[in-house]
A and B are shown apart, each in its own frame.
Chain A
C-alpha cells in the first residue's frame, strides 16, 4: 500500500472568496502580516500495489479528468513517502 496525494488549487487568476474570507478573519484573531490566503483541496489516495510509472500515469489521468477541473484549477500529484523512523 502506498499513498498518493493530489493537491488541487484554483488557478491564480480565479477569484477565491473562501480564501479571502479566511484571510480577512486573520487580523481579528491576532495573526498579522499574512497578505493573502487561497484555499485548495487535498485528495489522499491509498493505492493497492506498487506505485509504478503506470499507476502514476493512471492517477494523473484521474486527477486531470475528474479530481480537478483544468478550466479553473491546477493540480499536482505526488507519492507520499512514509517518514523515516515514523511512529505509529
Chain B
C-alpha cells in the first residue's frame, strides 16, 4: 500500500502544493489536511508547510499552533507520528513546544531568499536517513523570521544528543545560534528546518539540483519498512 503523507493547509500557507508535489515525486500519496479539521485522515506522517500562516501576527506560527488540527497532531507526534515542519511549519512546531527553542526575526531585519548550503549533521531521523552524515547539500531558503534561539543549556543538550540535524555552511542567513538550520526532538520523529527541501526536488527549478528529495524518500523508506 502507498504511504499516505498529510500536508496541513493553514490560512496563509504558501508551499502546501509544492510539498504535495514533492511527496508525489518521492512515490508517496499526498493527503490534503485542513487546519480546522481535528481528523488527520489516518495518514502515516504529516508535513507542516512553509508560508505565513495568520500573517505571522503575534509571532510566526503562534496562532496556527492553536488550530484544531494541531490538537490531534501534538498528541500523535508525542506518540511517534513522523512530522516535518518546513519554515513556517518549523515555527509552528517550536510554538507548540514539540521542538525546543523559538524562532525570531532575522538579525539583519530583512526578508532573505537564496540558495543555501547546509551540512547534514544527523542522518538517522525519520526525515534525513537518505542522506549521509556530513553530506553538504544546497536547498533554497526564504524567510523573515528564521533566527533560531534557545538558552545555552538547551543548545548544549541539542549538540550533545546529536539533535542538530542541519547546519548552515559558509553563511549564516539569519543569525541563528550555532548556525542551526534544523533540529529534531529526542525521539527523532519530529524535525523542523528553515530551508525549503520541497523547492529542490526537480532539476528544472530552484537550485537546479534535487537535494531536497531525500527528505521525502527518507520518510517513505521508513514507512514502507514499518508496514
Contact = CB atoms under 8 A, between A and B. Distances in A.
B66 A66 contact: yes
A3 B11 CA distance: 30
B112 interface: no
A14 interface: yes
B58 interface: yes
A17 B62 contact: no
Interface residues of B, number: 19
B102 interface: yes
A72 interface: yes
A72 B109 contact: no
Nearest to B152: A13
Nearest to A10: B104
A68 to B, nearest CB: 9
B101 interface: yes
Given A69-B95, A71-B102, A72-B102, A17 B107 contact: yes
A18 interface: yes
B150 interface: yes
Contacts of A21: 109
A72 B177 CA distance: 13
Interface residues of A, number: 11
Contacts of B106: 17
A67 B63 CA distance: 10
A15 B106 CA distance: 10
Contacts of B102: 69, 71-72
Contacts of A18: 105, 109
Nearest to A43: B58
Contacts of B150: 71
Interface string A14-31: 110110010000000000
Contacts of A10: 104
B58 A67 contact: yes
Contact of A66 (B62, B101, B109): B62
B85 to A, nearest CB: 16
A69 B62 contact: yes
B104 A72 contact: yes
Interface string B54-65: 000011001000
A35 B132 CA distance: 48
Nearest to A14: B149
A15 B58 contact: no
Contacts of B38: none
Interface in B88-127: 94-95, 100-102, 104-109
Contact of A17 (B66, B95, B100, B109): B109
Contacts of B62: 66, 69
Contacts of A69: 59, 62, 95, 102
Interface of A: 10, 14-15, 17-18, 21, 66-67, 69, 71-72
